[in-house]
Structure 1
């Protein structure tokens, strides 16, 4: 993995994390917004500007790829690089959780 990608994406913003988590299956931007709202009980709401800016940057960086267009909606999927970055972030979050458990009991 490129050092630049690691530096930019780890630690990851909530937006980036949820986008990559959702794109383990083919999905369009609005579908991601809906899934994130459901997963987080509406505690995380992705605005269209944030969503589409993140999708564009992640596609440019090779973390996601355009799959097809469906009724004028762009469908994306996580790439192998995106899966690697997501796995790094999940390990980081699990470590944080373990540390909290150790300290707070």
Structure 2
């Protein structure tokens, strides 16, 4: 059975979520990786291959764009309006997931 592309379904993987979130303020690749590691207290580390594969998908879907920053040696990426909207929708989806878990685990006396 073929795997569904989460972007086509309007959902973000954790990697895509953090990359998209990181470029709300434009950043280049290495800075994106550093930002994610720092923001997640090293719970999520993204290597270059995964980073650029995901960036390529986000660019193709129109959720991020190349941003001119005056440095021709590095590519800088920024979130588009569609990317911001997807972040908002995915954040609400994740909040609902946590609410469901809290309800279920609360019934079991674990929350």
TM-score (norm 1): 0.86
Runs of 4+ with >6 A deviation: none
Counting strand residues as a fraction of each chain, which structure ranks higher? 1
- Which residue pairs with 2:54 in the alignment? 54
SS class of match (2:96): helix
Partner SS state of residue 8, structure 1: coil
Partner of 1:72: 73
Say if 1:9 and 1:85, in contact at 8 Å, map to a contact too. no
Segments of 5+ residues of structure 1 without an aligned counterpart are: none
* Corresponding pairs, count: 101
Between structures 1 and 2, the one with greater helix share = 1
Bigger drift between 65-74 and 37-46 goes to: 65-74
CA RMSD in angstroms, aligned pairs only: 1.8
Q: Unaligned 5+ residue runs, structure 2?
A: 107-111
1:25 maps to: 25
Write the distance in 2 (CA, Å) between the matches of 1:39 and 1:10.
24
